[in-house]
Amino acid sequence: METADQLASVGTFQVLKLPLGFIRVLEWLFAIFAFATCGGYSGQLRVSVDCMEKASSNLSIGIDFAYPFRLYQVSFEAPVCEGIRRERVFLIGDYSSSAEFFVTIAVFAFLYSLMATIVYIFFQNKYRENNRGPLIDFIVTVVFSFMWLVSSSAWAKALSDVKLATDPDEVQLLISACKTQTNKCGSLHGARWSGLNTSVAFGFLNFVLWAGNIWFVFKETGWHKGAARLAGGASEKQAGTFTQEPYNQGSFDQTGSYNTQGNLGQPSEYSQVGGPTSYSNQM
């Protein structure tokens, strides 16, 4: 407890009130939701096979599948409607690559968000002392934004294919007994997709969070600070260009001879070339 109090006193938790820290916490939280709703999924569908020979019928065949959705490994037994014979039927499709890619990005995003939040709180001075920390943070944020977009799009497409491959009407076409018109096959219920639909929503929401945080991370880099200094210097220079000295009648002098407040007793410097300079000379 004393260690926690010491860390709390040393840490700068005020950063969590700023967009940079607050969005990192949201990224950490929504990354958990993304990989939990996808990686922890398991579903079941049920079909029925009603043979003409009632003794061979099976009116409730359960088919279970789960993450990572290697459906070609999922099998179930179905009656052949020829005595007591049964066949093993396998589903079609392998969508593990998209699902695992999505979960992997979510896990790494979770770890990085957690690490970045700890750095913001307890190592803020070291983070800001040179441009390396903000620059690495900026590059990683850009990469994760792109990876969230790619993985979420790929997983959304794979999910639609999983829904099609596990549709009870499509599964019935794999059962040989259902190809005979004398036998009747039906679907009892399909799988529930609310959890996986939520995972796709969380994936695109994570993309929005990471893409939106790019600007706030960029503001911490030397690139933004250098551009701000250049813009500030240019504005000061432009303001100095339009600054004029106060008008002073006594200081205004053309060609060093004209003075509006000059004394009348002083001799004038104005003379005509080759002409007399005084009245006595004319005499």
Q: Are 45 and 191 in contact (CB under 8 A)?
A: yes
CA distance 70 to 209: 31
Ranked by mean pLDDT, the top range of 174-178, 202-206, 276-280 is 202-206
Tell me what the mean pLDDT of segment 44-48 comes to: 95
> Element (H or E) spanning 59, and its range?
strand 58-66
CA distance 269 to 97: 97
Other C-beta atoms lying within 10 Å of the C-beta of residue 217:
24
* pLDDT band at residue 69 under the 50/70/90 scheme: very high
pLDDT confidence of residue 229 = 53
Summary mean pLDDT of the chain: 81
**Residue carrying structure tokens 């000295």:** 245
Residue 117 CB contacts under 8 Å (≥ 6 apart), including other chains? 16, 21, 24, 25, 28
On the question of pLDDT at 7 being above 60, the answer is no
Structure confidence by residue, pLDDT tens digits, 120-139: 998 888 887 778 889 999 99
Structure confidence by residue, pLDDT tens digits, 203-241: 999 999 999 999 999 998 876 455 555 545 445 555 444
Other C-beta atoms lying within 10 Å of the C-beta of residue 164:
12
On the question of pLDDT at 160 being above 80, the answer is yes
On the question of pLDDT at 279 being above 60, the answer is no
CA distance 231 to 106: 39
Which pTM does this prediction carry? 0.74
pLDDT confidence of residue 167 = 95
